[in-house]
Structure 1
Amino acid sequence: MKKLLFIRYRRPGSVDAGGEQGTNTNYNVLCRLLGEENITVYYIHEEQSFKKMILGGFSILINFLKGYYYGLSPHKVKEIKTLATNYPYVFIDRSIFGRIAKVLKNNQYGGKVITFFHNVESVYFAAKIGRYMPWRSVVINCVTQNDQESCDYSDIIIALNERDKQEIEKRYHRTPDILSPVVFKDTYKLQEYPSALTQQKPVCLFLGTYFPMNVHGILWFTKEVLPNVDIDLQVVGKNMHELQPRVKKYENIKIFSNVPDLRPYIENADFMLFPIFEGSGMKVKTCEALMYGKNIIGTKEAFEGYDLNFDKVGACCSTKEDFIKAIKHFSIHPCPRFNTYSRDMFVNNYSEEEREKKFAKIFSD
């Protein structure tokens, strides 16, 4: 049986953000293909106390300058190089660890190195890090270097969508070998799905971690759209309590931070609201909403990489006026809270089984 070394950023948590959810999906798919007993996991980043992190700040900076992303170090790369000799496959779950691929290939590793691009990291971090942050250039240079090394030294690179494919070709002169859109483990298989209609004053749910692109989107929405519509807005996600001081003047917003189970909030929502304007890759929250059969009102960025009929899934909005019009339309014209089109699109295109078909080709030799 084929054995694989799976390199991931950190251990799964009780509340994982989109990137880690994608990592969990890759691990699940590989376990189904190869058997969990044939996969060894190496964790790059270990949780540290704040004091230890501060004390190690100088070495972290030096590693960044040398091209080792946060958590990675020459010592860990050496460990991985030794470990890898026992495995015909090394799966690097993020292109920010391209240094690993480079060291393996420069030391005559004879197996196959596979790197998964969750984003084009140079684009993603340029949007994530504030323009005037003093460490911005250090981080962006590091991730750009690792993206390039992932392209130069991996046997197979996997990207999410056509946009990322074109960006990788333009920046790094490598064409991804496989395109595999965001998928999600199907945890919503019911005998009977909800039949209730949306309410005149709908409950609209924003899902997301407290993160620059999410914060920008929800603050824009509360300022530009919320005063013009009659809705109950719920914001649910990791560390979203940090947003509370910035939206406390709005009475019709409720924030739920670090909840252990998103399902009750998603099921209770009439619509998912995704006013996201920046980013790379694809939005995992959109895939999750499709799995639950939700109506979705979002931007082009929220739907990037998904092949959907926007009129059937909800609405694709570009401006303040678009959002207001869409929300008012659904307030006046109730529709089923459970959107069968969304659910069908998920099952047929964005479940883990679809990625399993793509990954199976890697191990067919």
Structure 2
Amino acid sequence: MPDRPVLLVSPLADHAPPGGRAMLARMHRAVLHDLFGEDLLTVRPEGCASPVAGVLRGHIDGIDSAALARIVRLARDRGVAQLFLDGSNLGAVARAVRRGCPEVRIVTFFHNVEARFFWGAFRDRPGVRPIGVVAANWRAERQAVRHSDVLVCLNARDGDLLARWYGRRADAILPLTMAERPVAAGPRMRNDGFVLFVGGGFYANRVGIAWFARSVAPRLAVRTVVVGRDMPPIAGVEVMGAVDDLAPWYRDAQVVIAPIFDGSGMKTKVAEALMHGKHVIGTPEAFVGYARDVVVANTCATDADGFVRAIAARTGQALPPFDPAMRALFDRFHGTAAARDRLAAIMTPPAGAAPPAAPPA
């Protein structure tokens, strides 16, 4: 590892809700700190760009001219060797650092192909503001693609999507990882049996569980429980809203479902279920980016009949509240050790690599 500082720029707030993006960002920050120790510098942009500036200049998620100037000054004054941008929506930072400190190696991590992700949200709920969000993220990502040395995606599909949207593929794949959290020990506290869906109220979760409530839940012998922040009431399933601790819900569930049909990146709910030792029944979209061993050990259902059959087969067995085989898959592919090995490889410049050249004006 280089002995010069590494700068991490992330919009993650310490009090951010515990969603998939926040969990992944926290993992990246923890692993980078483990790799670089006191040589890791962290910045959270806290500017306040206007909506128009956001659309026209890609200044979003706390980025404004003053924030960019502070980041460039820090990189120059501290002799930063590498910049890790935890989100392609920070492309304006890549552009500013490339121009102000052309010797810095810039690594940008794509939680999603954000423009594609927000395009799906726009199609779900069209409006002026959603299309503005698409435009702002497209501009920011375009800057990230143009000015980064290394583009990192969660899966190969997103890498190919970068090529279609921006003309350049990903340079590295860093699958989703998350910090290990305590699981609920002991026998189930609820013995009536239920299938569990975990997810907040963004469009792909709403659409997916609404479809499940219409097409699958009425045909099941067990109830369906939904746990997640900002999820609206949905007829046919029990929506619990946000909870303080997910662990007891995972323990007591017979099986976890992931009826997701759209999106980008990877679906955090699958890795989280594995961490809690649960079998997942999901759509092909839910398993995008996961290793073949994970997909084979769980169940992929392509339609309502497939979900009904798979759930009936699983709930008809005397399933343990925690399956060590599922947890082993999590540890192997999505735990801290996996994250450290992969990030260490990405943050090690190739031997003899020349400093990045400044882009044309």
SS in 1 for 2:128: coil
Q: Matched residue pairs, number?
A: 344
The aligned residue for residue 253 of structure 1 is 238
Contact 1:119 1:164 in 2 (8 A): yes
Quote the Cα distance in structure 1 between the aligned partners of 2:142 and 2:9: 18
The aligned residue for residue 53 of structure 1 is none
Contact 1:295 1:337 in 2 (8 A): no
Instruction: Give 1:255's aligned amino acid.
Output: M
**Which consecutive unaligned segments of at least 5 residues does structure 1 have?**
47-55
Quote the Cα distance in structure 2 between the aligned partners of 1:234 and 1:135: 32
Identity, % of aligned pairs? 27
SS in 2 for 1:233: strand
Q: What is the alpha-carbon root mean square deviation over aligned residues? A: 2.5
For the pair 1:356 / 2:340, whether they are aligned, the reply is yes
Quote the Cα distance in structure 2 between the aligned partners of 1:107 and 1:296: 47
TM-score calculated relative to the size of structure 1:
0.86
Listed one character per residue, the Cα deviations across residues 12-56 of structure 1 (whole Å, up to 9, x for unaligned) are 326321111111111011011111x3323222257xxxxxxxxx8
For the pair 1:234 / 2:236, whether they are aligned, the reply is no
Listed one character per residue, the Cα deviations across residues 269-310 of structure 1 (whole Å, up to 9, x for unaligned) are 121111111100101111111111101111111111112457
The aligned residue for residue 69 of structure 2 is 78
CA gap 1:312/1:108 in 2 versus in 1, 3 angstroms: closer
Listed one character per residue, the Cα deviations across residues 117-151 of structure 1 (whole Å, up to 9, x for unaligned) are 11111211111234521123322222122222211
For the pair 1:141 / 2:139, whether they are aligned, the reply is no
Quote the Cα distance in structure 2 between the aligned partners of 1:161 and 1:132: 28
Question: Which one of 101, 105, 127 corresponds to residue 112 of structure 1?
Answer: 105
Contact 1:271 1:337 in 2 (8 A): no
Question: Which one of 295, 311, 317 corresponds to residue 333 of structure 1?
Answer: 317
Quote the Cα distance in structure 2 between the aligned partners of 1:276 and 1:330: 20
Contact 1:45 1:72 in 2 (8 A): yes
Contact 1:10 1:44 in 2 (8 A): no
Question: Which one of 83, 94, 97 corresponds to residue 101 of structure 1?
Answer: 94
The aligned residue for residue 41 of structure 1 is 42
For the pair 1:315 / 2:317, whether they are aligned, the reply is no
**Which consecutive unaligned segments of at least 5 residues does structure 2 have?**
350-361
SS in 2 for 1:318: coil
The aligned residue for residue 8 of structure 2 is 6
Contact 1:188 1:291 in 2 (8 A): no
CA gap 1:344/1:176 in 2 versus in 1, 3 angstroms: same
Once the two structures are superposed, the pairs formed by residues 283-322 of structure 1 within 5 Å of their partners are 283-309=267-293, 313-322=297-306
- CA shift at 1:188, angstroms? 4.5
Quote the Cα distance in structure 2 between the aligned partners of 1:194 and 1:236: 21
SS in 2 for 1:239: coil
Contact 1:295 1:338 in 2 (8 A): no
TM-score calculated relative to the size of structure 2:
0.87
The aligned residue for residue 358 of structure 2 is none
For the pair 1:126 / 2:127, whether they are aligned, the reply is no
